[in-house]
């Protein structure tokens, strides 16, 4: 009788897996993630910005507001994506609870996926900045406090 081994599921930012989902239509494929982690784990590809409805390519977004109350707004024409991102985060986290995610590798410095040192501007025309986590990453960490998370740089 042959036993099938089920791989542990981890979330991975889609761009790290080589998917062209970034604002500029490119990817940030990470060889370690692709060669090592993908062979050991069942990688669940997630791009919060695309999954929330943003196109590829698209205008770059940034975070504005406070660490506790962030807004996601495009840098050029100031389109506010906050409500759509909040709706996406809530729905996707509910889905991930069912998928038994055991870890997550996030894209560093991303306004949606960065786990630290993501700039959050006090207002649109201000240069005053604080640093925190991206919108999706911070919600994921709060929802899954015992699940290990990492940025691809580590």
This prediction's pTM: 0.91
What is the pairing mode between strands 129-132 and 118-121?
antiparallel
Residue 123 is predicted with a pLDDT of 76
pLDDT in tens, 59-87: 999 999 988 899 999 999 999 999 999 99
133 vs 6, 7, 31, 42, 144, CA distance in Å? Answer: 32, 28, 24, 25, 15
| Structure confidence at residue 143 (pLDDT) | 97
Segment 93-105, tens digit of pLDDT: 999 999 999 999 9
Q: What percent of the chain has pLDDT over 70?
A: 95
pLDDT at 35 over 90: no
Of the candidates 9, 7, 14, the one whose C-alpha atom is nearest the C-alpha of residue 102 is 9
Reported as a single tens digit per residue, the pLDDT across 117-137 is 999 998 776 677 899 999 999
Give the whole-angstrom CA distance, residue 88 versus residue 135: 11
Angle value at C-alpha 101, between 20 and 28, nearest 5 degrees: 20
């Amino acid at each position: 009788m042959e036993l099938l081994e089920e791989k542990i599921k981890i979330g991975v930012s889609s761009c790290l897996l080589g998917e062209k989902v970034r604002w500029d239509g490119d990817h940030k494929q990470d060889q370690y993630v692709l060669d090592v982690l993908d062979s050991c784990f069942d990688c669940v590809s997630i791009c919060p910005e695309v999954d929330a409805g943003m196109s590829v390519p698209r205008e770059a977004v940034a975070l504005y507001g406070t660490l506790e109350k962030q807004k996601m707004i495009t840098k050029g024409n100031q389109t506010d994506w906050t409500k759509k991102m909040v709706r996406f985060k809530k729905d996707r986290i509910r889905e991930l609870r069912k998928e038994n995610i055991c870890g997550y590798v996030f894209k560093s410095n991303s306004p949606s996926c960065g786990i630290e040192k993501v700039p959050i501007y006090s207002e649109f025309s201000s240069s005053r900045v604080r640093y925190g986590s991206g919108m999706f990453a911070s919600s994921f960490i709060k929802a899954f406090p015992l699940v290990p998370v990492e940025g691809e740089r580590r």
